[in-house]
Amino acid sequence: MKTVGIALGGGAVLGAAHVGVLKAIEETNLEISHITGTSIGAFVGAFYAFGLKSADIEKIALNLGWFDLTKIALSKYSLLTNKKLGELIIEHLGDKNIEDSIIPLAIITTNIINGKKVVLTKGSLAKAVMASTCIPGIFKPIEMDDMMLVDGGIVENVPIDTLREIGAKYTIGVDLNAKSEHGKPGNILDVIVNSFHFIIKQAVTLQTQSADVLIKPNLSEFNMSDMSQVEELMEKGYADAKASLNKLI
């Protein structure tokens, strides 16, 4: 059995496609040896690293709505808080530390004070996932030591380099934004989220050049904030991953 590491990229609600990708991997002769995750990729990756299979994560995802993940928390830094997302991690996995994962896990965040990448491999899992999914201007930054941590997509949205740094020999990257054309935004959340991911899209092209396999599901028909699309996103991620994975089988 060939062992590979997987880097799960950011993409807001499009991250449901990661569940389908993991399902496709489970049907191959591949074993995941390391996981890195940015933003929604950190959220999905955390569940998988602690032993849940794609079917388990699918059940969790299908029962989620925006109000299960966030709530209004007006402050000088944000409109909302994603504290509920951290509580969801604790509800399903317990109050774990990253270093306790079954599969080695690294979570990518950005220190908004100086713009530097912060890779979390130890400490509170829930807090790390909250930090990595903290879209600037929407969610309240997570304070840790002397840092203010926000979405890792600013510095490494598909964390292939970090995946190699933590020990993966072969790498699979999952880029949710490569083929995304989102159309007219429906609300202010769409405007902010789309803008954020369009800005980082060009950098991702450079970040993913060294991946052994790069899965780029075509998610152009989907909206980045509509939770009603979760089931279809998982199906699309699964279908598009099957062909790409033939390169490693």
Active-site residue list: 39, 151
Structure tokens at 199: 């800005």
- What does the DSSP assignment read for 170-219? SEEEE-SSTT----S--SHHHHHHHHHHHHHHHHHHHHTTT-SEEE----
CA 23 – CA 34 distance, rounded (Å): 16
Q: Which of 249, 219, 204, 210 is nearest to 39 (CA)?
A: 204
CA 233 – CA 20 distance, rounded (Å): 8
Structure tokens at 158: 């598909």
CA 24 – CA 243 distance, rounded (Å): 10
Bridge-based pairing of strands 105-111 and 147-151 is antiparallel
Contact 185, 27 (CB under 8 A): no
13, 189, 205, 246 from 5: Cα distances, Å: 23, 32, 19, 16
